[in-house]
Amino acid sequence: MAKVTKKVAAKKITKKVTKKVAKKIVKKATSNKVVKKVTKKATVKKKPMTKKATPKMSKLKVGDMAPDFTLQDQNGKSVSLHDFKGKNVVVYFYPKAMTPGCTVQACEIRNSESKLKNANIVVLGISADPVKSLKKFEEKEKLNFTLLSDPEKKVIQSYGSWGLKKFMGREFEGILRQSFLVDTQGKVAHVMEKVDTKTHHDDVLNFFKNH
């Protein structure tokens, strides 16, 4: 019995010693120094996220050389502005194919084909729509002029036709409905910042007629 009692007593002592050692380890681990280090790491300020710089819009003026470009038309063919040197060119930007205002504008240009041709005027409509959408637009409305796809908006931005818009009480960035009339030398002859979709074709004809 004495041996058994000694063993039990020894186990109890071992348990007490183990608990004391464990407490010391925990106490050391949670000392002020460790807590300070952990707190310091936790309270490190994150660097504020920098906003992406918005591309600067160039403001073209009358007399400036119109920025040259090469884009795909509704048939997937590459078309460049310099292809039309010696002609009067209307570079017009519109928000989206097959939307109401853009359809009215395009159809009025379609209906003025002979008048535009007689005035040595070529029309290039530019939007961010993919080539497939432009082809559908052409076929649906039986359009007879060139539509160009600028999905990356590089040409749109180079002409300053991307900016803040307002519609039904909300503001957002998008393609501005603008037209740039380019003369036979490749220079900007007139900038139409406010375009009336119903009279755009006549406004273009009148300008070149009197220019």
**CATH for 151:** 3.40.30.10
Closest Cα to residue 178, out of 163, 190, 167, 193?
A: 193
Q: Are 164 and 76 found together in one domain?
A: yes
210, burial (CB in 10 Å: exposed 0-12, middle 13-18, buried 19+): exposed
Instruction: For Cα atoms 182, 186, 190, give the angle at the middle one, nearest 5 degrees.
Output: 25
Whole-model pTM? Answer: 0.72
Over 90: is that where the pLDDT of 121 sits?
yes
Write down the mean pLDDT value for the chain. 83
> What's the distance, CA 136 to chain centroid?
23
The half-sphere exposure of 159 on its side-chain side, counting CA atoms within 13 A, is 31
pLDDT tens track for 128-187: 999 999 999 999 999 999 999 999 999 999 999 999 887 778 888 999 999 999 999 999
DSSP H helical ranges for 30-80: 32-42
How distant, in Å, are the alpha carbons of 29, 64, 114, 121, 170 from that of 205? 84, 21, 11, 8, 34
C-alpha 172/C-alpha 152 separation (Å) is 18
Let me know if residue 62 belongs to a domain.
Answer: no
Q: Are 161 and 84 found together in one domain?
A: yes
Over 80: is that where the pLDDT of 125 sits?
yes
Q: Are 144 and 192 found together in one domain?
A: yes
Q: Are 85 and 164 found together in one domain?
A: yes
133-152 burial by CB neighbour count: b if 16+ within 10 A, else e?
A: bbbebbeeeebebbbbbbee
Active-site residues, by number, are 102
Q: Which residue has the higher pLDDT, 116 or 37?
A: 116
Give pLDDT, residue 15. 53
Give pLDDT, residue 44. 44
pLDDT tens track for 71-91: 999 999 999 999 999 999 999
Let me know if residue 204 belongs to a domain.
Answer: yes
Q: Are 152 and 193 found together in one domain?
A: yes
C-alpha 148/C-alpha 134 separation (Å) is 8
Task: Identify the domain containing residue 10 by its residue range.
Answer: 2-42
Let me know if residue 58 belongs to a domain.
Answer: no
Largest Cα separation within the chain, whole Å, is 126
